[in-house]
Amino acid sequence: MIANLPDYKDGAAYFDEPLLEYVVKITYFFWPKSDNKEDVWDSNFPRVFGKRYCKSLIDTSSKEKYLASTEIQETIRAFGLDSAKFWYLCLFIKDYVEGSAISAPVKKISPRIELKNLVTELEKMQPAFNPHYIDVAINGELTLKVGKHPVRIKNGQTLALIKCALSDYLEKNNDINDWLDNSIIDFENTVLLSSTKQLYLFDYYLSLFLKDLEADKTFESSQVNMRVSFDKRLLASRMIYVLGLSNDKRFDAEYSDSGDKSNFLKNYLSKYKDVEIPTHNKYYLIYPAE
Protein backbone atom coordinates (compact mmCIF):
# COMPACT_ATOMS: atom_id res chain seq x y z
CA MET A 1 0.00 0.00 0.00
CA ILE A 2 1.05 3.54 -0.75
CA ALA A 3 -0.55 6.23 1.39
CA ASN A 4 -1.99 9.39 -0.15
CA LEU A 5 -0.28 12.71 0.45
CA PRO A 6 -1.83 14.80 3.25
CA ASP A 7 -3.69 17.92 2.18
CA TYR A 8 -1.65 20.50 4.06
CA LYS A 9 -3.05 24.00 4.38
CA ASP A 10 0.47 25.33 4.65
CA GLY A 11 2.22 24.33 1.43
CA ALA A 12 5.62 24.62 3.09
CA ALA A 13 4.81 21.42 5.01
CA TYR A 14 5.37 19.40 1.84
CA PHE A 15 9.10 20.09 2.13
CA ASP A 16 9.12 18.03 5.33
CA GLU A 17 6.65 15.37 4.16
CA PRO A 18 8.45 11.98 4.39
CA LEU A 19 6.74 10.62 1.27
CA LEU A 20 8.24 13.48 -0.76
CA GLU A 21 11.82 12.98 0.44
CA TYR A 22 13.03 12.01 -3.06
CA VAL A 23 11.04 14.82 -4.69
CA VAL A 24 12.67 17.37 -2.40
CA LYS A 25 16.09 15.86 -3.14
CA ILE A 26 15.72 16.10 -6.91
CA THR A 27 14.63 19.73 -6.81
CA TYR A 28 18.27 20.61 -6.17
CA PHE A 29 18.92 19.46 -9.73
CA PHE A 30 15.96 21.39 -11.12
CA TRP A 31 16.40 24.63 -9.22
CA PRO A 32 19.80 25.36 -7.63
CA LYS A 33 19.85 27.54 -4.52
CA SER A 34 20.05 31.18 -5.58
CA ASP A 35 19.42 32.96 -2.27
CA ASN A 36 21.54 32.78 0.85
CA LYS A 37 18.67 33.61 3.18
CA GLU A 38 17.82 30.68 5.42
CA ASP A 39 14.08 31.19 5.07
CA VAL A 40 14.09 30.94 1.26
CA TRP A 41 13.24 27.54 -0.22
CA ASP A 42 15.34 26.12 -3.05
CA SER A 43 12.20 25.84 -5.18
CA ASN A 44 8.46 25.69 -4.91
CA PHE A 45 8.25 22.29 -6.63
CA PRO A 46 7.34 20.06 -3.64
CA ARG A 47 4.63 22.53 -2.62
CA VAL A 48 3.21 22.75 -6.15
CA PHE A 49 3.28 18.98 -6.59
CA GLY A 50 1.60 18.37 -3.22
CA LYS A 51 -1.16 20.87 -3.99
CA ARG A 52 -1.69 19.47 -7.50
CA TYR A 53 -1.87 15.94 -6.08
CA CYS A 54 -4.47 16.87 -3.48
CA LYS A 55 -6.55 18.60 -6.19
CA SER A 56 -6.57 15.32 -8.17
CA LEU A 57 -4.50 16.89 -10.95
CA ILE A 58 -1.95 14.07 -10.87
CA ASP A 59 -2.74 10.82 -12.68
CA THR A 60 -2.32 7.97 -10.18
CA SER A 61 -4.19 5.31 -12.18
CA SER A 62 -1.04 3.22 -12.68
CA LYS A 63 -0.33 2.70 -8.97
CA GLU A 64 -1.56 -0.89 -8.84
CA LYS A 65 0.39 -1.74 -11.98
CA TYR A 66 3.48 -0.28 -10.34
CA LEU A 67 3.00 -2.25 -7.15
CA ALA A 68 2.28 -5.45 -9.09
CA SER A 69 5.56 -5.27 -11.02
CA THR A 70 7.85 -7.62 -9.13
CA GLU A 71 10.76 -6.65 -11.38
CA ILE A 72 10.45 -2.97 -10.52
CA GLN A 73 9.86 -3.52 -6.82
CA GLU A 74 12.87 -5.80 -6.40
CA THR A 75 15.17 -3.47 -8.33
CA ILE A 76 14.03 -0.60 -6.12
CA ARG A 77 14.80 -2.61 -2.99
CA ALA A 78 18.18 -3.68 -4.36
CA PHE A 79 19.11 0.00 -4.61
CA GLY A 80 17.95 0.59 -1.04
CA LEU A 81 15.04 2.78 -2.12
CA ASP A 82 11.62 3.15 -0.55
CA SER A 83 8.87 2.07 -2.94
CA ALA A 84 6.34 4.72 -1.89
CA LYS A 85 8.86 7.57 -2.07
CA PHE A 86 10.07 6.36 -5.46
CA TRP A 87 6.48 6.25 -6.70
CA TYR A 88 5.92 9.88 -5.78
CA LEU A 89 9.26 10.83 -7.32
CA CYS A 90 8.24 9.28 -10.64
CA LEU A 91 4.79 10.87 -10.49
CA PHE A 92 6.44 14.23 -9.92
CA ILE A 93 8.88 13.80 -12.81
CA LYS A 94 6.07 12.73 -15.14
CA ASP A 95 4.00 15.76 -14.11
CA TYR A 96 6.98 18.07 -14.56
CA VAL A 97 7.66 16.62 -18.02
CA GLU A 98 4.03 17.06 -19.07
CA GLY A 99 4.10 20.65 -17.82
CA SER A 100 7.06 21.29 -20.10
CA ALA A 101 5.70 19.36 -23.07
CA ILE A 102 1.92 19.63 -23.37
CA SER A 103 0.47 23.03 -24.35
CA ALA A 104 3.54 24.62 -22.80
CA PRO A 105 4.33 28.30 -23.48
CA VAL A 106 7.32 28.89 -25.72
CA LYS A 107 10.55 30.47 -24.50
CA LYS A 108 11.60 33.54 -26.38
CA ILE A 109 15.30 33.72 -27.14
CA SER A 110 17.41 35.05 -24.26
CA PRO A 111 19.35 38.33 -24.48
CA ARG A 112 22.64 36.43 -24.31
CA ILE A 113 21.79 34.35 -27.37
CA GLU A 114 20.55 37.38 -29.30
CA LEU A 115 23.73 39.32 -28.52
CA LYS A 116 25.91 36.34 -29.48
CA ASN A 117 24.04 36.02 -32.76
CA LEU A 118 24.60 39.73 -33.44
CA VAL A 119 28.32 39.42 -32.68
CA THR A 120 28.54 36.43 -35.05
CA GLU A 121 27.01 38.48 -37.85
CA LEU A 122 29.27 41.48 -37.20
CA GLU A 123 32.32 39.20 -37.24
CA LYS A 124 31.48 38.33 -40.85
CA MET A 125 32.64 41.86 -41.76
CA GLN A 126 36.16 40.70 -40.80
CA PRO A 127 37.24 43.89 -39.01
CA ALA A 128 40.97 44.62 -38.87
CA PHE A 129 42.13 47.01 -36.13
CA ASN A 130 44.99 49.25 -37.26
CA PRO A 131 46.65 51.94 -35.07
CA HIS A 132 44.59 54.82 -36.50
CA TYR A 133 41.56 53.24 -38.17
CA ILE A 134 39.45 50.10 -38.46
CA ASP A 135 39.19 48.35 -41.78
CA VAL A 136 36.43 45.90 -42.75
CA ALA A 137 36.52 43.37 -45.60
CA ILE A 138 32.75 43.21 -46.05
CA ASN A 139 30.29 46.06 -45.62
CA GLY A 140 27.22 45.69 -43.45
CA GLU A 141 24.25 47.58 -42.09
CA LEU A 142 22.55 47.56 -38.70
CA THR A 143 19.02 48.95 -38.35
CA LEU A 144 17.23 49.90 -35.12
CA LYS A 145 13.66 51.07 -35.19
CA VAL A 146 11.99 52.65 -32.16
CA GLY A 147 8.89 54.52 -33.24
CA LYS A 148 8.55 55.76 -36.80
CA HIS A 149 12.11 56.67 -37.71
CA PRO A 150 14.66 53.85 -37.94
CA VAL A 151 18.37 54.40 -37.30
CA ARG A 152 20.65 52.77 -39.86
CA ILE A 153 24.34 52.27 -39.15
CA LYS A 154 26.43 51.61 -42.25
CA ASN A 155 29.81 52.84 -41.07
CA GLY A 156 32.08 49.78 -40.86
CA GLN A 157 34.18 51.27 -38.04
CA THR A 158 31.07 51.94 -35.96
CA LEU A 159 29.83 48.41 -36.53
CA ALA A 160 33.22 46.99 -35.60
CA LEU A 161 33.20 49.00 -32.36
CA ILE A 162 29.69 47.72 -31.53
CA LYS A 163 30.97 44.19 -32.07
CA CYS A 164 33.92 44.85 -29.71
CA ALA A 165 31.69 46.36 -27.03
CA LEU A 166 29.26 43.43 -27.14
CA SER A 167 32.03 40.83 -27.14
CA ASP A 168 33.68 42.49 -24.14
CA TYR A 169 30.39 42.66 -22.23
CA LEU A 170 29.60 39.00 -22.89
CA GLU A 171 33.09 37.94 -21.84
CA LYS A 172 32.92 39.90 -18.59
CA ASN A 173 29.47 38.40 -17.85
CA ASN A 174 30.21 34.83 -18.80
CA ASP A 175 28.50 33.43 -15.70
CA ILE A 176 24.74 32.98 -15.71
CA ASN A 177 22.87 36.09 -14.65
CA ASP A 178 19.27 37.22 -14.74
CA TRP A 179 19.78 40.08 -17.18
CA LEU A 180 21.34 37.95 -19.88
CA ASP A 181 19.83 34.52 -19.41
CA ASN A 182 16.19 35.00 -18.53
CA SER A 183 13.86 34.02 -21.35
CA ILE A 184 10.64 35.94 -21.83
CA ILE A 185 7.53 33.75 -21.76
CA ASP A 186 5.46 33.80 -24.93
CA PHE A 187 1.99 33.03 -23.59
CA GLU A 188 0.41 33.40 -27.02
CA ASN A 189 2.36 30.49 -28.47
CA THR A 190 2.20 27.02 -26.96
CA VAL A 191 3.64 23.79 -28.28
CA LEU A 192 3.27 20.05 -27.90
CA LEU A 193 6.65 18.37 -27.68
CA SER A 194 7.01 15.00 -29.36
CA SER A 195 6.52 11.84 -27.33
CA THR A 196 10.21 11.06 -27.87
CA LYS A 197 11.25 14.33 -26.24
CA GLN A 198 8.93 13.59 -23.33
CA LEU A 199 10.61 10.21 -22.85
CA TYR A 200 14.00 11.89 -23.12
CA LEU A 201 13.09 14.34 -20.34
CA PHE A 202 11.68 11.65 -18.06
CA ASP A 203 14.77 9.50 -18.51
CA TYR A 204 17.07 12.50 -18.05
CA TYR A 205 15.55 13.62 -14.74
CA LEU A 206 15.15 10.14 -13.26
CA SER A 207 18.73 9.31 -14.24
CA LEU A 208 19.90 12.37 -12.30
CA PHE A 209 18.35 10.90 -9.19
CA LEU A 210 19.67 7.37 -9.77
CA LYS A 211 23.16 8.34 -10.95
CA ASP A 212 25.07 7.99 -7.68
CA LEU A 213 23.14 5.04 -6.25
CA GLU A 214 24.81 1.66 -5.85
CA ALA A 215 22.86 -1.59 -5.84
CA ASP A 216 23.34 -4.41 -3.39
CA LYS A 217 24.51 -7.07 -5.85
CA THR A 218 23.87 -9.79 -3.24
CA PHE A 219 20.15 -8.99 -3.24
CA GLU A 220 18.20 -12.06 -4.35
CA SER A 221 14.74 -12.27 -5.85
CA SER A 222 11.83 -13.54 -3.80
CA GLN A 223 10.63 -15.33 -6.94
CA VAL A 224 11.94 -18.74 -7.97
CA ASN A 225 14.19 -18.70 -11.06
CA MET A 226 14.01 -14.93 -11.32
CA ARG A 227 17.07 -12.68 -11.49
CA VAL A 228 17.01 -9.17 -10.01
CA SER A 229 17.99 -6.43 -12.44
CA PHE A 230 20.51 -3.84 -11.23
CA ASP A 231 20.19 -1.86 -14.47
CA LYS A 232 19.20 1.75 -13.71
CA ARG A 233 18.31 2.48 -17.32
CA LEU A 234 16.00 -0.54 -17.40
CA LEU A 235 14.31 0.72 -14.22
CA ALA A 236 13.66 4.07 -15.93
CA SER A 237 12.45 2.25 -19.02
CA ARG A 238 10.02 0.12 -17.02
CA MET A 239 8.68 3.20 -15.23
CA ILE A 240 8.03 4.80 -18.62
CA TYR A 241 5.87 1.80 -19.50
CA VAL A 242 4.13 1.54 -16.12
CA LEU A 243 3.26 5.24 -15.99
CA GLY A 244 1.80 5.14 -19.49
CA LEU A 245 4.32 7.49 -21.06
CA SER A 246 4.52 4.77 -23.70
CA ASN A 247 2.39 1.69 -24.29
CA ASP A 248 5.19 -0.09 -26.12
CA LYS A 249 5.88 -3.28 -24.14
CA ARG A 250 9.49 -3.29 -25.31
CA PHE A 251 10.19 -0.62 -22.68
CA ASP A 252 9.31 -3.22 -20.03
CA ALA A 253 11.41 -6.04 -21.47
CA GLU A 254 14.98 -6.76 -20.35
CA TYR A 255 15.68 -9.06 -23.29
CA SER A 256 14.67 -8.97 -26.94
CA ASP A 257 12.91 -11.84 -28.72
CA SER A 258 16.32 -13.11 -29.82
CA GLY A 259 17.42 -13.43 -26.18
CA ASP A 260 19.90 -10.54 -26.33
CA LYS A 261 19.99 -7.68 -23.83
CA SER A 262 17.40 -5.25 -25.14
CA ASN A 263 18.63 -1.81 -24.03
CA PHE A 264 15.49 -0.56 -25.72
CA LEU A 265 15.35 2.86 -24.05
CA LYS A 266 19.04 3.52 -24.65
CA ASN A 267 18.72 2.64 -28.34
CA TYR A 268 15.43 4.53 -28.67
CA LEU A 269 17.01 7.75 -27.38
CA SER A 270 20.46 7.26 -28.91
CA LYS A 271 20.09 10.31 -31.19
CA TYR A 272 18.95 12.58 -28.37
CA LYS A 273 21.78 14.23 -26.44
CA ASP A 274 21.69 17.65 -24.76
CA VAL A 275 18.27 18.35 -26.23
CA GLU A 276 17.19 21.99 -25.98
CA ILE A 277 13.65 22.28 -24.63
CA PRO A 278 12.07 25.47 -26.05
CA THR A 279 9.34 25.82 -23.42
CA HIS A 280 8.62 27.05 -19.92
CA ASN A 281 6.97 24.67 -17.46
CA LYS A 282 3.36 25.77 -17.10
CA TYR A 283 2.85 24.02 -13.74
CA TYR A 284 6.05 24.63 -11.82
CA LEU A 285 7.70 27.74 -13.25
CA ILE A 286 4.74 29.94 -14.15
CA TYR A 287 1.55 29.21 -12.25
CA PRO A 288 2.21 28.68 -8.52
CA ALA A 289 -0.19 26.48 -6.57
CA GLU A 290 -2.60 28.31 -4.36
How far apart CA 59 and CA 91 sit, in angstroms, is 8
Domain ranges of the chain: 11-107+184-268, 111-181
What secondary structure does DSSP assign to 130-172, as a single string? -SS-EE-SS---EEEESSSSEEEE--HHHHHHHHHHHHHHHHH
**CA-to-CA dists, residue 90 to 61, 158, 233, 236, 276, angstroms:** 13, 55, 14, 9, 22
Q: Which residues of 5-28 are buried (b: 16+ CB within 10 A; e: fewer)?
A: beeeeebeebbebebbbbbbebbe
Looking at residue 272, its pLDDT comes to 77
DSSP state of 199: H
Which stretches of the chain drop beneath a pLDDT of 70? 30-42, 183, 224, 286-290
- 3-40: per-residue pLDDT in tens? 999 999 998 899 999 999 999 999 877 665 444 444 44
Looking at residue 32, its pLDDT comes to 53
- 124-143: per-residue pLDDT in tens? 999 998 888 899 889 999 99
How far apart CA 273 and CA 165 sit, in angstroms, is 34
